[in-house]
Amino acid sequence: MNDHTFLGKSITPLHASEKATGQAVYAGDLRLADMLTGKFCRSPYAHARILHIDTSRAEKLPGVKAVVTSKDAPGQRIGRWVWDRPVLAEDKVRHTGEAVAAVAAVDEDTAEEAASVIRVEYEELPVVANALEALKPLAPVIHEDLGSYQSSHPEHNGSGNVLHRVHIVAGDAEKALAAADVVHHESYSTPRVHQGFTQPHQVVASVDLSGKVTVWDSTKAPFVIRAALAQVLGLPLARVRVIATRVGGDFGGKGTVNIEPACVLLAMKSGCPVKMALDFREELIATFIRTSSYIDLTSGARRDGTLVAVKAKVIFDIGAYNDGFTGSADGYSLVQGPYAIPNVDIEASAVYSNSTPTGNCRAPRAPQQCFAAESHMDGLARKLGMDPLELRLKNVLKGGERLPTGGFVGRTGIQQTMQAARDFLAKKEEKRPGEGWGVASTWWSVHRVGGEGSPSTAWLKLNEDGTANLFTGCTEQGGGQHDILVQIVAETVGLPPEAVTVVASDTDTTPYEQGTGGSRTTYRVGTSVRLAAEDARQQLVAMAANKLKVNPDNLRLCDGKVFVEGTPGKEVTIAALCAEAITSPRGPVVGIGEELREARLGQSREDKDVLDGLQTGTHVVKVAVDRETGKVRVLKYFASHDVGFVLNPRNVEGQIDGGVVQGVGFGLTEGLVTENAETINASLRDYRMPRAGDAPAAIDKSIIETPSKYGPFGARGVGEPPTVPVAAAINNAVYDAVGVRLTSVPLDPAKIVAALKQKK
Amino acid sequence: MNDHTFLGKSITPLHASEKATGQAVYAGDLRLADMLTGKFCRSPYAHARILHIDTSRAEKLPGVKAVVTSKDAPGQRIGRWVWDRPVLAEDKVRHTGEAVAAVAAVDEDTAEEAASVIRVEYEELPVVANALEALKPLAPVIHEDLGSYQSSHPEHNGSGNVLHRVHIVAGDAEKALAAADVVHHESYSTPRVHQGFTQPHQVVASVDLSGKVTVWDSTKAPFVIRAALAQVLGLPLARVRVIATRVGGDFGGKGTVNIEPACVLLAMKSGCPVKMALDFREELIATFIRTSSYIDLTSGARRDGTLVAVKAKVIFDIGAYNDGFTGSADGYSLVQGPYAIPNVDIEASAVYSNSTPTGNCRAPRAPQQCFAAESHMDGLARKLGMDPLELRLKNVLKGGERLPTGGFVGRTGIQQTMQAARDFLAKKEEKRPGEGWGVASTWWSVHRVGGEGSPSTAWLKLNEDGTANLFTGCTEQGGGQHDILVQIVAETVGLPPEAVTVVASDTDTTPYEQGTGGSRTTYRVGTSVRLAAEDARQQLVAMAANKLKVNPDNLRLCDGKVFVEGTPGKEVTIAALCAEAITSPRGPVVGIGEELREARLGQSREDKDVLDGLQTGTHVVKVAVDRETGKVRVLKYFASHDVGFVLNPRNVEGQIDGGVVQGVGFGLTEGLVTENAETINASLRDYRMPRAGDAPAAIDKSIIETPSKYGPFGARGVGEPPTVPVAAAINNAVYDAVGVRLTSVPLDPAKIVAALKQKK
């Protein structure tokens, strides 16, 4: 496939053996001397004023070492982008399960007992069950001081219970719809779902004599946690150290501050290290899960299938607190699907309610909007009497288009993913009664060349035997990210992967990194690592050229050697160069890589607004629907993704496999069920994640490699998109199978039976 | 004294509180899950062939998890510069107490029992008690394969039991002595002494599933240990991590590999972490202590005191193994003292014997040679009828002289230290009977501009709030080194010292550093830190100039701000610049400092051979000698040192206080006593380190600041020299008090009584 030595190959995963044998150390595995266990006291009410908290009984309990409430961090707020929540509830509680106090005791039983004897006097307030209720004119206001949270981000221009409103406009959608040959309208909704990682949030906090705070954390974004802790504790960043231990899955749920501040406060107050770990009930009611949504969609097309307009109203129910949900317009343009549409009118808002808080979950906002957009395309195709895939191919973005949000579509392989789906479908066998095929496409546009957020940085230290230590703030949360980074170093510097050690995930010892998320690792972190390795490579080349008395342009690095191309035997080992460097005035070889610094080189103004690393895909699914029970079974699955360049086939396949199964859960089984804002299925038994039997037996794949301009070796990444189109594809297949179209996930058997009954 | 903000001041020591409260974590404090205790089985013979080792009884003992012998590392040798010793004795033992096997067991008692039941069959060999015996023509050869150890270092040109011989010649000493007005001859000797640190060698080794070795170590040179371990274990450096935990004193004794390989072998074999810690008997018989010496000295002077020649024969008894003792000539030129002498003939050799191995100890080789040289100067002055200090002042190096070893003396303040001593003595009170004054000077020349060994490197990472993490491989072993490095950063970048966190002493996470020793920290590490900070400073200045639209030359950094000199209010905080950097294309601010790269800038060929950072000093002591008992009491002490620039007064004073007390031990009480190469005082009770009552009540100081050219802010360092002249000064004071001159330390009461008796 390529002429690389270590790229495009599946190397032995760095963390596989320690995980397989149980020797990997997660935050929950840590045992420090005199370590206490911390537990939360949580609110039984969804919305209530706190009149009084009496911690005296808890404090008197033998074995209890510290109790903290909002009095220990008065007025402090935490969050990401929007700092809207207290460390512990202060004046009121805004959702059932909100933490009101925390205790640290010598063992878990004592801590639990102590938490249970804290007496909180509440005054119940009217509950705002969901975003639709919250938007009613006389709805109670959940955040009285919304303005102050929003002030630092002008795009958060909401009011009342609306955190932000976004209006994306291009052309005149109203007029175009009126003139369209065919108009299709439908309303969709999706529930809250948990990220589904297996390791719950776990934190150990310790404070040394100098007051320096060290936190071992299940986070995938230690620098984000450090920033939040420093702010809430009033400490300089140099006095807070966050170490991300091994992470047992994340999917967006472990990138922002959560239980850390309370844990640190307990450690400060008790003078002992404290461990806190959530159980899965807490995970489901009190962490930051996938936002529920209400999406109203109208589109218009000409008779030949050319899309002329889309009009959408998108409401995201962000629950009691918002975590990492920005008002950026890019995230809402996903509702138009990956299609060129001249007239666009999207009104989107993020709305508070007294429900479980929400935040980032693999491709935040995308599965919800894709479920709507791609179910909608299928419905439109049926109305037009067209093949749904042909309708998509007719309208698909081909690159170069200007989006209503202002960006330009870079080079993209989405058309090829659709063609791959067409090829797959061309060979499809006849469907039997109750069986159907469905298609859905996705696009994910996180990488504007000009860049939002933080650039990634990496350092590469070469040891005196030519082996290397790669420094990155990037945390491996199970996706094999470190494997890829090591491969990039190995390829660039000409070393075997075993010769590279990764120093990562520690705010004290690694360069700044905003976190492993947003499908940014390969594209952005990978670029910084490539640049660090390239910097080191150039130093080695200069030294070797000097030593061998040759033109540096003729030198190549491979197998731990620098050699002269075409002159066998004229070579020097990297080890020899590094050993010499370390005792010579030049000093040891250290490479520095900063991504955006390089990305900007030679880049025009237009380029800056280009979505260079667009990640796209098209899925095909075959399902069988049992008309009696309503049960949907996934029979076949095909996924085609444009990843730009395959750095590591196993990792790409793993992301697709995992994403599809997660999407099956979103499509068929998962979803928090609430009654008046109280979650009634807050256990792993009742909250039904897909099990082995629910997953497709195999997932056929077609990997497209349309190189991005700035990703390492053209890579785009593939961490998030595979989960996005699954629910829509299944929904479209259900329609194909039994002729009913649901407009909400999960595609619950009962809903299907009801729809079939109604259709009859 | 100066216009600096944070330099020249004693900041709160970084490690003081954790050490004072016992919370500092030393290697011996570590407890890892399933950790075993390791113990050595040691030879009872000083010289014997190993016929057979039977470990079966030890292996069968319940609780024993691993036993290792040389079979686990066959043919492997360890050491520094000269790799002359096996991990565990292989074919023979060369000193009493040499480790023959090691065991790991579930507890210390079991490990000790197991070590005691290992049966070793020896064939005794004739013992070579000391270097003088070793030089006899028919002496048994201790290292049969000396040649192979020497091959990598051609200056190790010895044969038989001689590791290396050095001959330093200038002019014609023989002829000049024949023509001299006064010739003085005397022979001196000094015993082996231990470094005297309070924490013995402690190591914990752990091997993970991937085979990566992690060692927590009492070392002050983790990169040196890593290199040795990688070599002996056949691992790449990236697979070995050495972390220097807190070090409880070092004084040169913890800079090279010692018990680490055996500990790692036990961890590998048992599959569990293993801790090994020496007791003080082992410290005294089986680590690398100060070399004993025999020095024969003849000097000639003109009637007016002008030195015309020195002829010396120096024999260092390095014991069974050599550790870090190079054949560099610079180290032997110390025997001529800090004087300009036209005719020099120094013959020096390092000779093996069947005694405790030796290695580095604060100013290796210097106290021995200084005791000889400066006792000798006193004797010569008496012969000339001159004041000893005036004789020194007449001949002292003034800078610019070419030494017989080829280097040039850089700018030096030694003359000023002698003048300070003269000023101190001018005010001296009358001495009473049995009291006397003594003077001695020292020079220590470790810093040739051209540099031997490795340059230091440092990185400085600025966090997004403007605080900083300083990365250095330099280990703090109690001397306050990190305080100074933090001060240099604070001064250069304009931050308070509290804003700087030190990341240090870990081969994985810090840049290469050869180790804390050779008085190199302030001068060399300090320079690398200054350069890293300067690099960061320049980046901040460029950013601020761009932001404030001013000429960068007008910008100054202080109090966490960059401001325009002379334009109040025109400023930007470093925090704001760093926050912007981290989200802007330039990326976070990281400074890189490599010392020698800079040191070479603008340097001429002559400059390269200049001893730029010469550290010098002159001591004055008043003693009282009890003629009945021979007991010597130190009544007053004065020390003047040229440190170039005082970065931290407390640290400078601490080094002088500690050095003088250590020198009092060398002069009056310490020394291993052997009978036929067996140490008979191998306990802290019998090996008499000075106690509080032996130390001078106070040490008057005069600090001279003659700036070096390349040290940070002109600093030279002061870690080693204060211990060097103490024994000679006391010896000269004893002569002044009672008219007898001893030629060996310690100045034992019995020896003084005997000398007084003989004089009568």
Among B237, B239, B603, B605, the residue to mutate for chain A (most A Cβ within 10 A)? B237
For residue range B430-472, what is the model confidence (pLDDT) as tens digits? 899 999 999 999 998 755 655 556 678 899 999 999 999 999 9
**Catalytic residue (one of A513, A678, A705, A720):** A720
CATH assignment of B410-447+611-760, given 3.40.50.11540, 3.30.365.10, 1.10.10.60, 3.30.420.300? 3.30.365.10
Residues of chain B in contact with residue A590, where contact means CB-CB under 8 angstroms, are: 457, 459, 511, 592
pLDDT classification of B155: cutoffs 50, 70, 90: low
CA proximity to A389, closest of A428, A433, A344: A428
Nearest CA in chain A to B22: A209
| pLDDT above 90 (res A145) | no
Are B512 and A461 a contacting pair at CB < 8 A?
Answer: yes
CA proximity to A69, closest of A45, A57, A86, A47: A86
Q: At A529, which amino acid appears?
A: V
For residue range A619-645, what is the model confidence (pLDDT) as tens digits? 999 999 999 999 999 999 999 999 999
Q: Please, where in chain A does CATH 3.30.365.10 lie?
A: 16-22+451-602, 289-450+608-759
Q: At what angle do helices B414-426 and B388-395 cross, to 10 degrees?
A: 160
Choose among A498, A586, A594: nearest Cβ to B587. A594
Q: What number is the average pLDDT over the span A524-542?
A: 93
Residues of chain B in contact with residue A455, where contact means CB-CB under 8 angstroms, are: 582-585, 587
Are B498 and A236 a contacting pair at CB < 8 A?
Answer: yes
Tell which wins on pLDDT, A307 or A567: A307
| A752 within 8 A of A630, measured Cβ to Cβ | yes
Are A17 and B451 a contacting pair at CB < 8 A?
Answer: no
Closest-CA distance of chain B to residue A172, Å: 36
* Ranges A193-202, A230-239, A404-413, A493-502: which has the least confidence: A404-413
Q: Is B720 a catalytic residue?
A: yes
| pLDDT above 90 (res A526) | yes
* Ranges A55-64, A401-410, B273-282: which has the least confidence: A401-410
For residue range A314-353, what is the model confidence (pLDDT) as tens digits? 999 999 998 877 777 778 889 999 999 999 999 999 999 9
Residue A21 has, within 13 A of its CA and on its CB side, a CA count of: 8
Give strand pairing partners of A99.
A42
Choose among A17, A510, A585: nearest Cβ to B210. A17
Predicted local confidence at residue B29, as pLDDT: 95
Predicted local confidence at residue B467, as pLDDT: 97
- Angstrom CA distances, B505 to A304, B276, B461, stand at 70, 20, 16
Share of chain A above pLDDT 70, in %: 95
Residues of chain B in contact with residue A451, where contact means CB-CB under 8 angstroms, are: 585
Structure tokens at A344: 């666009």
Are A512 and B454 a contacting pair at CB < 8 A?
Answer: no
| pLDDT above 50 (res A602) | no
Closest-CA distance of chain B to residue A8, Å: 23
- DSSP H helices, A277-344, are 280-286
Q: Which long-range contacts (CB under 8 A, 24 or more apart) does A147-154 make?
A: A149/A77, A149/A79, A149/A82, A149/A83, A149/A84, A150/A82, A152/A83, A153/A81, A153/A82, A153/A326, A153/A327
Residue B172's contacts (CB-CB under 8 Å, 6 or more residues apart) are B343
Structure tokens at A640: 């085609």
Residue B234 has, within 13 A of its CA and on its CB side, a CA count of: 6
| A672 within 8 A of A666, measured Cβ to Cβ | no
Name which CATH class applies to A31-125+198-249+254-286.
Answer: alpha beta
Q: Residue B549 CB: number of other CB atoms within 10 A?
A: 7
Are B236 and A467 a contacting pair at CB < 8 A?
Answer: yes
Q: Kindly provide the residue ranges of all beta strands, DSSP E only, lying in B289-446, ordered along the sequence.
A: 289-290, 292-301, 307-319, 343-352, 358-359, 408-409, 435-444
Q: Residue B33 CB: number of other CB atoms within 10 A?
A: 10
Q: At A425, which amino acid appears?
A: L
Nearest CA in chain B to A501: B238
Nearest CA in chain A to B23: A209
Closest-CA distance of chain B to residue A461, Å: 7
Fold of the domain spanning A16-22+451-602: Aldehyde Oxidoreductase; domain 4 (3.30.365)
Cα–chain-centroid distance for residue A130? 24
Are B239 and A208 a contacting pair at CB < 8 A?
Answer: no
What is the residue whose two structure tokens read 């009493």? B96
Predicted local confidence at residue A453, as pLDDT: 59
Nearest CA in chain B to A25: B208
Choose among A209, A465, A582: nearest Cβ to B236. A465
Structure tokens at B141: 């050869």
Q: Report yes or no for ipTM above 0.95.
A: no
Q: Residue A739 CB: number of other CB atoms within 10 A?
A: 13
Nearest CA in chain B to A600: B585
Cα–chain-centroid distance for residue B719? 8
| pLDDT above 90 (res A82) | no
Are B586 and A597 a contacting pair at CB < 8 A?
Answer: yes
Is the whole-model pTM more than 0.90?
Answer: yes
Q: What number is the average pLDDT over the span A355-364?
A: 93
Nearest CA in chain B to A509: B509
Choose among A237, A585, A592: nearest Cβ to B451. A585
What's B13's DSSP letter? Answer: P
Are B469 and A596 a contacting pair at CB < 8 A?
Answer: no
Give strand pairing partners of A620.
A439, A638
Per-residue buried b or exposed e for A535-566, using 16+ beta carbons within 10 Å of the residue's own CB: bbbebbbebbbeebebeeeebebeebbbbbee
Which region, left, alpha or beta, applies to residue B410 given φ > 0 means left and ψ of -120 to 50 means alpha?
Answer: beta
Choose among A209, A453, A587: nearest Cβ to B23. A209
Give strand pairing partners of A436.
A623
Are B21 and A209 a contacting pair at CB < 8 A?
Answer: yes
Q: What number is the average pLDDT over the span B723-735?
A: 98
Predicted local confidence at residue B666, as pLDDT: 98
pLDDT classification of A601: cutoffs 50, 70, 90: very low
CATH of domain A289-450+608-759: 3.30.365.10
Residues of chain B in contact with residue A600, where contact means CB-CB under 8 angstroms, are: 585
CA distance B656 to B672: 25
Predicted local confidence at residue A2, as pLDDT: 53
* Ranges A214-228, A675-689, B200-214: which has the least confidence: A675-689
Mean pLDDT estimate for chain A: 93
For residue range A1-22, what is the model confidence (pLDDT) as tens digits? 457 999 999 998 999 999 999 9
CA distance B420 to B309: 27
What's A743's DSSP letter? Answer: S
- How many CB pairs below 8 A link A and B? 156
Predicted local confidence at residue A417, as pLDDT: 98
Are A236 and B499 a contacting pair at CB < 8 A?
Answer: yes
CA proximity to B727, closest of B602, B632, B589, B610: B632
| pLDDT above 70 (res B600) | no
Q: Residue A681 CB: number of other CB atoms within 10 A?
A: 15
Q: Please, where in chain B does CATH 3.30.365.10 lie?
A: 16-22+451-606, 410-447+611-760
Structure tokens at B592: 């890189």
Choose among A210, A506, A586: nearest Cβ to B17. A210
| A632 within 8 A of A747, measured Cβ to Cβ | yes
For the purposes of burial, counting CB atoms within 10 Å of the CB of A698, is it exposed (0-12), middle (13-18) or buried (19 or more)?
exposed
pLDDT classification of B597: cutoffs 50, 70, 90: low
Fold of the domain spanning B16-22+451-606: Aldehyde Oxidoreductase; domain 4 (3.30.365)
The length of chain A is 760
Choose among B208, B457, B510: nearest Cβ to A587. B457
Q: What number is the average pLDDT over the span A482-490?
A: 97
Nearest-5° Cα angle at A384, A732 to A434: 30
Give strand pairing partners of A316.
A293, A350
Are B501 and A239 a contacting pair at CB < 8 A?
Answer: yes
